[in-house]
Protein backbone atom coordinates (compact mmCIF):
# COMPACT_ATOMS: atom_id res chain seq x y z
CA UNK A 1 0.00 0.00 0.00
CA UNK A 2 1.80 3.16 -1.19
CA UNK A 3 -0.09 5.39 1.24
CA UNK A 4 0.98 3.28 4.22
CA UNK A 5 4.59 3.31 3.03
CA UNK A 6 4.44 7.09 2.74
CA UNK A 7 3.01 7.42 6.25
CA UNK A 8 5.71 5.15 7.66
CA UNK A 9 8.44 7.06 5.85
CA UNK A 10 7.18 10.39 7.20
CA UNK A 11 6.62 9.12 10.74
CA UNK A 12 8.89 10.40 13.50
CA UNK A 13 7.40 8.13 16.18
CA UNK A 14 9.75 6.16 18.38
CA UNK A 15 9.51 2.43 17.77
CA UNK A 16 9.91 0.23 20.80
CA UNK A 17 11.61 -3.09 20.14
CA UNK A 18 9.23 -5.90 21.14
CA UNK A 19 11.00 -9.01 19.82
CA UNK A 20 14.47 -9.95 20.97
CA UNK A 21 16.20 -13.07 22.33
CA UNK A 22 16.25 -11.50 25.80
CA UNK A 23 12.43 -11.33 25.89
CA UNK A 24 11.85 -15.08 25.53
CA UNK A 25 9.90 -16.16 28.63
CA UNK A 26 11.29 -19.70 28.67
CA UNK A 27 13.97 -21.56 26.80
CA UNK A 28 12.62 -23.68 23.98
CA UNK A 29 14.17 -27.07 23.34
CA UNK A 30 15.30 -27.92 19.84
CA UNK A 31 13.04 -30.30 17.95
CA UNK A 32 14.87 -33.45 16.95
CA UNK A 33 13.18 -35.29 14.12
CA UNK A 34 14.25 -38.03 11.75
CA UNK A 35 13.07 -38.22 8.14
CA UNK A 36 10.35 -40.81 8.81
CA UNK A 37 8.85 -38.71 11.61
CA UNK A 38 8.98 -35.59 9.44
CA UNK A 39 7.29 -37.30 6.50
CA UNK A 40 4.55 -38.72 8.74
CA UNK A 41 3.91 -35.31 10.33
CA UNK A 42 3.90 -33.62 6.93
CA UNK A 43 1.36 -36.13 5.58
CA UNK A 44 -0.84 -35.56 8.63
CA UNK A 45 -1.04 -31.82 7.84
CA UNK A 46 -3.21 -31.56 4.73
CA UNK A 47 -2.76 -27.80 4.39
CA UNK A 48 1.04 -27.98 4.61
CA UNK A 49 1.15 -30.81 2.08
CA UNK A 50 -1.13 -29.00 -0.38
CA UNK A 51 0.62 -25.63 -0.01
CA UNK A 52 4.05 -27.22 -0.54
CA UNK A 53 2.77 -29.01 -3.66
CA UNK A 54 1.15 -25.80 -4.91
CA UNK A 55 4.39 -23.90 -4.41
CA UNK A 56 6.44 -26.50 -6.28
CA UNK A 57 3.97 -26.54 -9.20
CA UNK A 58 4.02 -22.73 -9.44
CA UNK A 59 7.82 -22.66 -9.23
CA UNK A 60 8.09 -25.14 -12.12
CA UNK A 61 5.56 -23.16 -14.16
CA UNK A 62 7.50 -19.94 -13.58
CA UNK A 63 10.79 -21.65 -14.45
CA UNK A 64 9.36 -22.87 -17.76
CA UNK A 65 8.07 -19.36 -18.52
CA UNK A 66 11.46 -17.84 -17.72
CA UNK A 67 13.27 -20.37 -19.91
CA UNK A 68 10.92 -19.58 -22.81
CA UNK A 69 11.58 -15.84 -22.39
CA UNK A 70 15.33 -16.39 -22.32
CA UNK A 71 15.26 -18.65 -25.38
CA UNK A 72 13.28 -16.10 -27.42
CA UNK A 73 15.83 -13.32 -26.97
pLDDT at 18: 86
**Residue 42: closest CA among 31, 53, 32:** 53
Residue pair 66/72 in contact (Cβ under 8 Å)? The answer is: no
Q: pTM for the whole thing?
A: 0.49
Taken in order 54, 60, 61, 62, the sign of the CA dihedral is positive
Q: pLDDT tens for residues 6-39? A: 999 999 999 888 888 888 888 778 888 999 999 9
Amino acid sequence: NPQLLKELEESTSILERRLSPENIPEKLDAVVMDEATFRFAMNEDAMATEKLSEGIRQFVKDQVSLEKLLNNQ
